[in-house]
Amino acid sequence: MALICHIFWLAFGHLATGQEIFGINNKPNNYENNLDVQVCMGKHKGTKMEKKPMEYLVEHLKETLFIESELPYKAMLAVDRGHYTTWRPYANCITNIGYGAHMQAPFQQAMVLDDLSEELTEGKKVLDIGSGNGYFTALLAWCVGKTGKVIGIEHIPQLVQRATHNVISGNPEFVKDGRIKFVLGDGRKGYLDEAPYDIIHVGGSIEDIPEGVSKVYIQLIF
């Protein structure tokens, strides 16, 4: 049975502001004008919030993204960003999580899940390189279900610990049924102990693929 590998090299520099997608200014000094940040601050349309902040964020993404698949939205409703970061968890922008690392913006994560929607199904095994605070890894874990497994590899020890803590806090069922695992290591070398993988996601920003890395990742899917 042939395995499918999707490697995403996300260009954070180009997508950071989200202006191309939303037509709004997402710069820090203009946060007050953005729906998603008003949600974060409990000021949705000047009324008392009747839904969870994550529900408002998902509704906002549905209104602004051209995504047909329901997978991203279902996953995001099941995995609340508020359990994975305390700094503007519902703002539709890239989040600094410390140690020189960043958390992808919600619209970026939704777009990647949409691209993977046909392959990211029950029982698949996924390698998430650059797992950071564990949020996107947890989204992947929800998508593959109880019979699937997602390995998040991260080279910063503190983030590995934080990701583990975040999942235990936000989605303990993923740990209980063994569908998610975080390991400390060099993502450029992959993680052979759990190979082969159906999907490889690279959550990072590079201009060129380093020499030899492609061969390493190809070995991980066969």
**88 pLDDT tier (thresholds 50, 70, 90):** confident
48-82 pLDDT per residue, tens? 567 888 999 999 999 988 888 999 999 999 999 99
Spell out the SS3 assignment of the chain. Answer: CCCCCCCCCCCHHHHCCCHHHHCCCCCHHHHHHCHHHHHHCCCHHHCCCCCCHHHHHHHHHHHHCCCCCCHHHHHHHHCCHHHCCCCCCCCCCCEEEECCEEECCHHHHHHHHHHCCCCCCCCCEEEEECCCCCHHHHHHHHHHCCCCEEEEEECCHHHHHHHHHHHHHHCHHHHHCCCEEEEECCHHHCCHHHCCCCEEEECCCCCCCCCCHHHHHHHCCC
Domains of the chain plus CATH, in order, are 53-218 (3.40.50.150)
The yes-or-no verdict on residue 26 having pLDDT over 60 is: no
The yes-or-no verdict on residue 159 having pLDDT over 90 is: yes
Mean pLDDT score of the chain: 80
Least confident of 6-20, 38-52, 62-76, 100-114: 6-20
- The pTM of this model reads 0.80
The mean pLDDT of 82-86, rounded to a whole number, is 93
The yes-or-no verdict on residue 47 having pLDDT over 60 is: no
